[in-house]
Chains A and B, each alone.
Chain A
């Protein structure tokens, strides 16, 4: 059994422990310890019944924890009776775990860490490495999150919006370590999508697949950022695009539009263009209109202005941009791009330099610096 198949079992095992009377925090700890033991011993001695092995090992860990806390002796008596597991409710348990880990009372970074551990089945060490945080700090972040959830029950209804927000964060924060967070986010979103027919869940899955399809072309061999307009489209993963489009169409047919479906529709229109010049900017602007209507998000307005530049020309895009707050992230980068398109090369070069200074990532900064250098060369040529 490979590691990802092993991790698939984790939420169900936590569910079993909770049904037997364990509180979520202790159950989660016990299952994490069982998981670490499984990762150490299974390669040599794989069990016949992996899930049964994990349940037994985790339940023992849980009882050990209880026994080591003498003040809880009475509770121990109650739970060691091992009530029957009851009919399998694995699907419900798993969905409830997602809701709990994305609980609105948790700060985003904590919800992300807890989701990756309790539902994703990653170890604290793996999560810490993925986010470039010391293991001790990540362990504290997770146990603090669980303390905050003390008393929370598994059978309370949750909101899909919070779960989707967490999964989106996992996907979108491009950290790279041993754990491929984008792939992990897709795996988890696929799992949620099998447990519900919420169109926004499908919308987020489609969005992830459509962006993931472009992954190989998004960075150059030296790690440099390649903008959409310059990407080698023959390297886009057509199978992922087809799957993303199909999932999106089924979601849109349910006629309950949401922000992730709208974003996925924009990604699908980009994916559909064989060359950057063939991009259907008019339709993209319409989807940005929907996105702005749904979210009021200023960054959606900024992207809309760039799309208007594609549809009606750079001057029209600049006119849209002028109506927005100039302190928005990437505002100056968008202005530089539109001015270059409009032929204002001197201004464009200056704005690219300014934008590079304000960039939030090394890759963006370097990209914008290269843009400035390129435009300066156009001017002297």
Chain B
């Protein structure tokens, strides 16, 4: 079963640990945080559970169709948008419980002072292919 672990810049439930943005951490703290993420992905590859991990730049734009023969409308970025996706990891695991366990571990990435930042991650199941035998 594949799950998406989604990390948001904005739109999360209230944070449980108050910490400054990463640009105010010490370089060593930033390294420790990045290293933790990297090691986590490498470990999941070894357990045969890693599918993909990507980070997104915060800037982008909204695009939509604007009628035949006209260029698409490009709008934004909208600073007031409530939700902003920072990146994701896709895992392939045996159960929802395992997905939650792994998301919990990823959320323990260290922040200032090497303490876990307890950040919220959204866990969403992929829609799979339909089974053959249903009746």
**Interfacial residues, chain A to chain B (CB-CB below 8 A):** 107-110, 113, 131-134, 136-138, 140-142, 144, 171-176, 182, 207, 211, 218, 225, 228, 263, 266-267, 270, 303, 306, 330, 359-365
Contacts and interface: CB of A to CB of B under 8 A. Distances in A.
Main secondary structure of the interface of A (DSSP, over half): helix
Interface in B43-94: 45-52, 92, 94
A333 B126 CA distance: 19
Nearest to B2: A132
Interface in B98-135: 125, 127-135
Interface residues of B, number: 21
A317 to B, nearest CB: 14
B135 A303 contact: yes
B91 to A, nearest CB: 10
Contact of B51 (A113, A133, A211): A133
Contacts of B132: 171-172, 174, 182, 211, 218
Contact of B129 (A107, A134, A175, A218): A175
B45 A136 contact: yes
A108 to B, nearest CB: 6
A175 B47 CA distance: 22
A107 B133 CA distance: 22
Contacts, number: 78
Contacts of A303: 135
B94 A108 contact: yes
A361 B50 contact: no
A290 to B, nearest CB: 15
Interface of B: 2, 45-52, 92, 94, 125, 127-135
Contacts of A171: 132-133
A86 B25 CA distance: 68
Contact of A361 (B94, B129, B135): B129
Contacts of A225: 130
B48 A174 contact: no
A137 B127 contact: no
A108 B125 CA distance: 18
Nearest to A303: B135
